[in-house]
Chains A and B, each alone.
Chain A
Amino acid sequence: MSAISSYARALAVDGGRAYPIATRRHLHLSDHPLAFVPLTMAGEANAPLAAMIGTDRDNPTMLFVPQPRNRTLRFAFADQLATIVLKYIEDCPRQGVETYGKEGKVRYLDAPQMLVPNPAGAAFVRLFGRSTRFRRTTGEYAVSPQVPLLGRWLTWFGERSEHPGSSALVAMTSALGRHWATGQSAMEDANLAALLAWIDPPAGVAATDAAREAEDPTIWPPAGPSTDPTFDNEILAPAIRLYDEGKHERALAVLERDLRSQLEPTWRLMWQAIDLLRTLPPGDTVPVRWTNDRTDFTGYHTYVSGGGFPQARRDGAVAAARRLQRLEREQNEYDATCALDDPLVMASFRVTGEAFAGTVVEVEADRKILSDKGRRVLRPRVVVRTGDPVQLLAATKLRSPSRPKQDVTILSINGDRVGLQIENGMGRAGTAAPGTVPTLGEELTYTSVFPESMRSPELPAPEDTPWTHGGPPKPYTPTDDDAREVWE
């Protein structure tokens, strides 16, 4: 949250509709995302109850477990889910490959994208991956070979989703909340129906009324994974009892109908959310971040295809520390790049005084100074007048979204006038190449918050981890205990 988003919330209360806090879409949206709405049974540890899933909004697949406490039925569900998810994943490598880098590494042109309604749905994906990836396909408690494979991939989705800027697994409430501010609290925004009511209410209905209606579970069943307790007690429990009594045919029909009624409204909301996000043009760095997802996907796909082990239960201490550090760096980088891509995101940095926008009022294009080596070098000076509350000091390095490769240093700040020195990006001649120095009257934004490099550096491969960082991680070998783990 920021002063800008809070102000937009105030506007939303007053205006009776959501207000934008972004002008660009800051996530990748696949042409064929895999939408997934899971439901769990209350009281159990991530026990699947039902799901609606698919890439075609008009033709989703519905899966359900008639008795979620039954282990065999759970794994039958996992097997059905695996068929859909694995087919979706295997379609990606078929879209072709590209090579990159000096060594000519190969990467798939497409990667899978899974969309869930909310962060709790993403947690379901992660935990369902955890409960299936260690399963054995032979011997006692054998499961279908697809099940542990599904587990690995769901775990991959779960891990990717922790990386800021990754679009592999996206919670729709989070994605929408990054682009619009509603007239309700962040807590209430966790309800997908209520959030969409503010952004895109049904024709002729006030957003506030639609949002209230969205809280009524009989009109808008919860977007899961938890179900409405009243639904559990009055509808689901009797239906499951029918199944337990052996009246399978009747029970299956009732469950199919009633669970569909719980899933379908959310399914429609998912696609409404996708449509809304598609109306925004993607930010310039969205493809760069999606490339990171593709690279990671390619690597993991290769590993899994080669018969790699399932991911460990937990990171070792060194790995965990490294990961936290990396996530923090990625978050900063993500925030900074989104701001460079989008003036409305940049607005937050302008309010805090870390960035400013203004008009060029003075230009000294042929200014030369003595360099450290005593040579006269070209360092043009420009003065920008701004109404923003600049909180920067002289000598701070800046970048402008419209001149992303050019370094600029603050020379002085006098009231609303910021003096800047242009450091580079003017060509090799003694005078600045045309267009490389800002001109009088030009409107410019400068920010002190920018990523180290516009592309994230390629991390060393795990096997090249220096010994100072614990050396290459020991590959995780699952134990018999892992495979036998009870799931009651």
Chain B
Amino acid sequence: MPDDTPHRLHQLRGSAPAKRHNARTVAALTGNPGCARRAVLDAAGVDKDALAKQIGFPAKFGQSQFAITRGNSFEAQVKANGYAELLRLLREVLGLEIEEVGSTDLNDVGGNASQEVRHTRARQALKAAVEGREPLTFLDHPLLSLDVGGNIVYLEPDLVAFHHDGVLHVVEIKSFAIIDDQAGGSKVAAAARQSAVYVLALRRLLGDDKVSHDVVLVCPKDFSNQPTAVKIDVRKQLITLDHQLTRLARIDNLVEQLPNGLSLDLATHTPDELVSALSIMEARYAPSCLNSCEMAYFCRHEAAGCTSALGTTVREELGGVEYVTRALDLAQGKAVASVEEEEAAAMLRITAQIYGSVAA
């Protein structure tokens, strides 16, 4: 990284403290890997939620307290009685042969340990486990760390299970139900992305061969509170994540292109100033941003009139032409196609002709 990149990122964020990432927000980094705006905002630790609110396009990522309560109580129940239930499940899915369960609770017990202290404790416990110095089975809420664009991010998986042959498995406890062995695809996918973040953090600490790409997802079975476990392979998610983190580490290319002194300091800039600063950073809006990025409503507003705002498939079916008006002009023969546009224009003209011949 050139020397001034950290400085310029700090300048961009302004006086506010860097936004803390968690596994969910790190996983969300992979949501739109091509977007430079997001990459820069995340690398700078800008609070996107606050920024979006300030410019009048608040994100809509509320969480119901019912969901939170249920999530916590399910996790507590699964871990109750010295992890008895969990042990049974892991014996099944991982073939754990251990009768006795050892565990280290790495939760913030006193409520006053600093993150560094907790992370150090977790690191020691993990290394001891992998090196076989401690006969451990479960590490409860170990605090891991991951370098995200030059910033240390602390992550807290629900549980790391230690396999007898020296391999660690991430165990993720979720409160959505698996009914008749099926669960909602998008929820499983989100859990897989999030678990991949933990796997990557663990691998960077202990080595790739020490951490399995199979994570264990523990969910309520059918309509009960009884837990059930499934293994999911997160290799694909790991590749995407690794790719995006590498990209963030090379953020200097993107930062270099921004004017010197550019700032998004919420304390000192008016919404208009923030918007014009943002518009310098190239975005790549797609409808899926609405589910994954706090800036989505702003970017959608900005992308009005772009074919990609209608979805990738629609854009392709409009011949890849960038703007709706251009696509229509080509389709209706009101514009002359450039050489690159010729093929798309021919297809659009036919579509327009046929549509016009049958639509009232």
Contacts and interface: CB of A to CB of B under 8 A. Distances in A.
Given A13-B310, A314-B180, A485-B222, A350 B66 contact: no
B206 interface: no
Given A8-B355, A130-B180, A488-B223, A43 B66 contact: yes
Interface residues of A, number: 57
A43 B64 contact: yes
Contact of A344 (B181, B327, B358): B358
B279 interface: no
A45 interface: yes
B354 A350 contact: yes
Contacts of A7: 317-318, 331, 348, 351-352, 355
A367 B196 CA distance: 70
Interface string A236-263: 1100000000000000000000000000
B328 interface: yes
Contacts of A232: 64-66
B354 A6 contact: no
Contact of A6 (B67, B179, B226, B310): B310
Contacts of B220: 45
Given A1-B314, A20-B360, A229 B64 contact: yes
A282 interface: no
A232 B71 CA distance: 16
A408 interface: no
B324 interface: yes
Nearest to B353: A387
B62 A228 contact: yes
Interface in A325-343: 343
B328 A357 contact: no
A237 B65 contact: yes
Nearest to A228: B62
A439 interface: no
Contacts of A200: none
A351 B354 CA distance: 7
Interface string B52-84: 000000001011111111110000000000000
Contacts of B351: 3-4, 7, 351
Given A7-B318, A20-B360, A185-B311, A347 B354 contact: yes
B350 A351 contact: yes
A187 interface: yes
B215 interface: no
B137 interface: no
B328 A10 contact: yes
Interface in B23-48: none
Contact of B287 (A11, A187, A230, A347): A187
Given A14-B325, A343-B358, A186 B65 contact: no
A9 B180 CA distance: 39
Given A42-B70, A185-B309, A232-B64, 7 more contacts: A8-B355, A23-B360, A44-B70, A183-B310, A184-B310, A229-B62, A313-B180
Interface of B: 60, 62-71, 175-177, 179-181, 220, 222-226, 287-288, 290-291, 305, 307, 309-311, 313-314, 317-318, 324-325, 327-328, 331, 347-348, 350-355, 357-360
Interface of A: 1-11, 13-14, 19-20, 23, 41-46, 127, 130-131, 183-188, 215, 217, 227-230, 232-233, 236-237, 313-314, 343-344, 346-347, 350-351, 357, 387-389, 485-488
Nearest 10 Cβ contacts at the A-B interface: A229-B62, A43-B70, A45-B177, A6-B317, A43-B67, A42-B64, A185-B287, A232-B64, A486-B224, A487-B223
29 contacts: A2-B317, A3-B351, A4-B354, A7-B318, A7-B352, A10-B310, A10-B327, A13-B305, A13-B310, A23-B358, A42-B67, A43-B69, A45-B176, A45-B220, A45-B223, A46-B223, A127-B179, A130-B179, A188-B287, A229-B62, A233-B62, A236-B66, A314-B181, A344-B355, A347-B358, A350-B354, A351-B354, A485-B223, A488-B225
